A and B are shown apart, each in its own frame.
Chain A
Amino acid sequence: MIKKSEKEPLIEIKNLKKHFDIKRKEKLHAVDDISLQIYPGETLGLVGESGCGKSTIGNLIMRLLEPTSGEILYQGKNINGKSGKENRGITEKMQIIFQDPYSSLNPKKTVRNILEEPFLVQHIGKTKKERIFLIDELCEKVDLNKDLLDYYPHELDGGMRQVVGIARALSLSAEFIVCDEPVSSLDVSVQAKIINMLMDLQKQFGLTYLFISHDLSVVKHISDRIAVMYLGQIVEMSDTETMFENTLHPYSIALLSAVPKIDFSNDSERIVLKGDVPSPVNPNMNKCRFAKRCWMAQECCTQACPPLVEVEPGHKVACFFAKESRERMKDTQKVTKKL
């Protein structure tokens, strides 16, 4: 476990906002006032359902999108709003692995070309021979068969394509990698291989991960700390163990109970939320965004937006009734799971 008081965060985002203009006067609040820190060597899992903004945060940190406001800091230095030249030496340390193994590799290039590109772009390895050596080294890091170097992406299966994507992310000696749903489109057995590989590489090279996923079980397995997002805001953040043993935010509780489990031992109770996820367009900034579907919602929830506060060391929740949510579960519209 990382002792936060001893280390400075590798990545820090402060009050990050991203609003998209869709029509006149209509703004889509993809990310609203998010602040978080990621410490060296740890994996922060970012969990939430579609439209919650988790992928947007990944893109903002990687500067594929410009934030509407807020700061992004790498080792304390602000990388937001600076040009490529000014950030030289930093941005190469931050890389990303994409979800879709089919669109993350250029279909017209061989694996060798794809892995050579980072070296060409960054002028590493002046001669062809040097670059070949570097590529071979990369292949060994991810256990990629060198015979596959002359293949095209469509000749490889999803799992191998992800391995190439991982190799590419490691090519510039990255320190921080955003993993944007890297295993969601893979079969179960391939998923396991990639997760194991990511964890091994983290140990071997001291990597820091932001692991974005909607799959709670995967996130639980790989993350040191977890942040749960709902409609552009973080509703709960803590280390993994606490998140699963002492879940406090009603949405997190519902999310955990919604996952279908193989569990024959007891009748665990499931909370079924009413209704659908509301629209992130022009949300009411003065109420809790989860109130409409929340079983504990009261008057005050529709009059102010609960801030993200620390309820116990290392555990932050954005709910006025966080401490009571576990008792209040009995009042919910529950469905008992019988077998």
Chain B
Amino acid sequence: MDKKVLLKRMKGNPFFVIGAILALVILIVCFCSPLFIRFNPIVNSTAEKLHSPEGLKNGLSGHIFGTDQLGRDVLSRLLIGGRFSLLIAFIVVILQTLIGTILGIIAGYIGGIVDSVIMRLCDVFLAIPNLILAIAIMSVLGSSPKNLVIVLVVSGWVSYCKVTRNSVRVVKNQDFVHASQVMGAGKMHIMMTQIFPNVTTNLIILASQEIGNTILIEAALSFLSLGIQPPTPSWGNMISTGRTYLMVRPWLVLVPGIALMLTVLAFNFLGDGLRDVFDPKRVS
């Protein structure tokens, strides 16, 4: 696709622009947070329990979003928690993409029994609810970030596999694949050099939509104490522990809640925007 046309479409698509800017801002702020936060997000400080948000009164040295029940600065925990959540989401999506793509291309291109087996495998994984899976793995293997990643990858790779497989099935009937076969190219060569470049578009769209979804699932698991464990902050567990104080100190829930919502919205917009930008049937 023509790069110039793509850029033009990107600039013209409000979803893409809003989503991209918002996501970029969130990413930068979260990952650069150690550079400017003044408080330790894990260490308790009973003297400073449950302070209300000061806003920008004292700049960065004050508690802009207040403190939680253990005296920890909410903003610091928010940003560090954000780092964890986002990092986990990206790692999970990358791993899901890798596994799903490889299996999808093999299933789609080779077809036959291999395809049937892989598709049945997908069915099995789809049938397992990620909550129960999480409980099972966490209770048996313990709740470390590594296990969290495993749970998330296992419950989400299937859609990548199916999307890729369907794209591959369309692409492999194109004459240029036949041309490669006729000139003596082997299956591996064709899958990697001919087929893969033609399925990346759908993958990019899927991955960007899934980031938001993954962040939400991780938050839900952490909310249920199955994900990131305290004292490490995560938006999910911040909401969970803040619940008890909802009526008296609402910001403990609202701040991470709104952050979560904005982040997921940003990536959803980005995903929608990308889909519109890449969609060939778009009326111009």
Residues of A within 8 A of B (CB): 62-64, 84, 88, 91-92, 94-96, 98-100, 103-109, 114, 117-118, 121-122, 152, 154-155, 165, 168, 171-172
> Are A96 and B194 in touch, CB under 8 angstroms?
no
* Contact in complex: B183, A118 (CB < 8 Å): yes
Nearest Cβ distance between residue B128 and chain A, in whole angstroms?
Answer: 34
The smallest C-beta distance from B105 to any residue of chain A, in angstroms, reads 15
Cβ–Cβ contact B176 & A105, under 8 A? yes
Beta-carbon contact of B176 and A62 below 8 Å: no
Q: 14 more A-B contacts (CB under 8 A) besides A84-B186, A104-B179? A: A63-B182, A91-B182, A92-B183, A99-B175, A105-B176, A106-B174, A106-B198, A107-B1, A117-B193, A121-B180, A121-B183, A121-B184, A121-B185, A154-B1
9 A-B pairs within 8 Å (CB atoms) are namely A63-B182, A96-B178, A107-B1, A108-B198, A109-B197, A117-B183, A121-B183, A122-B184, A155-B2
Q: Known: A96-B179, A98-B178, A98-B179. Contact between A106 and B194, CB under 8 A?
A: yes
Report the contact-size class of chain B (Cβ under 8 Å from the partner): 10 to 19
Give Cα A114 to B2, complex, Å.
18
Chain B interface mostly: helix
Q: Are B185 and A117 in contact, CB atoms less than 8 angstroms apart?
A: yes
The answer to whether A84 touches B184 (Cβ under 8 A) is yes
Closest to A97 in B: B179
Per a CB cutoff under 8 Å, which of A103, A109, A171 touches B174? A103
State whether the Cβ of B189 lies closer than 8 Å to any Cβ in chain A: yes
Report yes or no: A121 in contact with B189, Cβ–Cβ below 8 A.
yes
Bound-state CA distance A103–B184 (Å) is 19
Chain A residues within 8 Å of B46, by CB: none
Give the CA-CA distance A96 to B181 in the complex, in Å: 11
* Residues in B neighbouring A106, C-beta threshold 8 A: 174, 176, 194, 197-198
Give, as a whole number of angstroms, the nearest-CB distance from B174 to chain A. 4
Most B Cβ at <10 Å: residue of A62, A99, A155:
A62
- The answer for the CA separation of A105 and B2 in the assembled complex, in Å, is 16
* A117 proximity list for chain B (CB < 8 A): 180, 183, 185, 193
For B184, give its contact among A92, A99, A109 (CB under 8 Å). Answer: A92
Interface, chain B (partner A; CB < 8 A): 1-2, 174-176, 178-186, 189, 193-194, 197-198
C-alpha gap A64/B182 in the complex (Å): 7
Residue of A nearest to B201 (CB): A108
State in angstroms the CA–CA spacing of A105 and B193 once bound together.
13
For A165, what are the chain B residues with a Cβ–Cβ distance below 8 Å? 179
A235: min CB distance to chain B, Å = 28
A104's partner among B176, B193, B194 (CB-CB below 8 A) is B176
Shortest Cβ distance from B177 into A: residue: A106
A104 neighbours in B (Cβ, 8 Å): 174-176, 179
Is the CB–CB distance between B178 and A108 below 8 Å? no
B99 to chain A, nearest CB (A): 23
**Could you tell me the distance in whole angstroms from the C-beta of B198 to the nearest C-beta in chain A?**
6
Task: For residue B29, give the distance in angstroms from its CB to the closest CB of chain A.
Answer: 35
Please count the residue pairs between chain A and chain B whose beta carbons lie under 8 angstroms apart in the complex. 64
The residues of A that contact B198 with a CB separation of less than 8 Å are 106-108
Most chain A CB inside 10 Å of its own CB: which residue of B176, B178, B194: B176
Q: Which residues of A contact B189 (CB under 8 A)?
A: 121
- How far, in Å, is B19 (CB) from chain A's closest CB? 25
Residue among B178, B182, B194 with most chain A CB within 10 A: B182
The 8 closest A-B pairs by CB, nearest first: A108-B197, A104-B175, A98-B175, A103-B174, A106-B176, A118-B183, A121-B185, A103-B175
Q: Tell me how far the C-beta of A155 lies from the nearest C-beta in chain B, rounded to whole angstroms.
A: 8
In the complex, which residues of chain A have a beta carbon less than 8 angstroms from the beta carbon of B182? Answer: 62-64, 91, 94-96
Q: Which residues of B contact A107 (CB under 8 A)?
A: 1, 198
Q: Is the CB of A172 within 8 A of B176?
A: no
Chain B residue contacts of A152, Cβ below 8 A: 2
Q: Give the distance in Å from the alpha carbon of A105 to the alpha carbon of B178 in the complex.
A: 10
Closest to B183 in A: A118
How far, in whole Å, are A275 and B62 apart by their CA atoms in the complex?
Answer: 88
Q: Please, which residues of chain A bring their CB within 8 A of the CB of B194? A: 106
CA distance A121 to B182 in the complex (A): 11
Distance (whole angstroms) from the CB of A91 to the closest CB of chain B: 6
By a CB distance below 8 angstroms, the chain B residues around A84 are: 184, 186
Bound state CA distance, A188 and B237, in angstroms?
Answer: 69
Given known A107-B198, A109-B197, contact A172–B183 (CB-CB < 8 A): yes
* Docked CA distance A103–B179 (Å): 10
Interface centre among A62, A96, A108, A172 (most CB of B within 10 A): A108
The answer to whether A103 touches B185, judged by C-beta atoms less than 8 angstroms apart, is no
CB neighbours (8 Å) of A172 from chain B are: 183
Q: How far is the CA of A107 from the CA of B177 in the complex (A)?
A: 11
In the assembled complex, how far is the CB of residue A127 from the closest CB belonging to chain B, in whole angstroms?
Answer: 19
Q: How far is the CA of A103 from the CA of B186 in the complex (A)?
A: 20
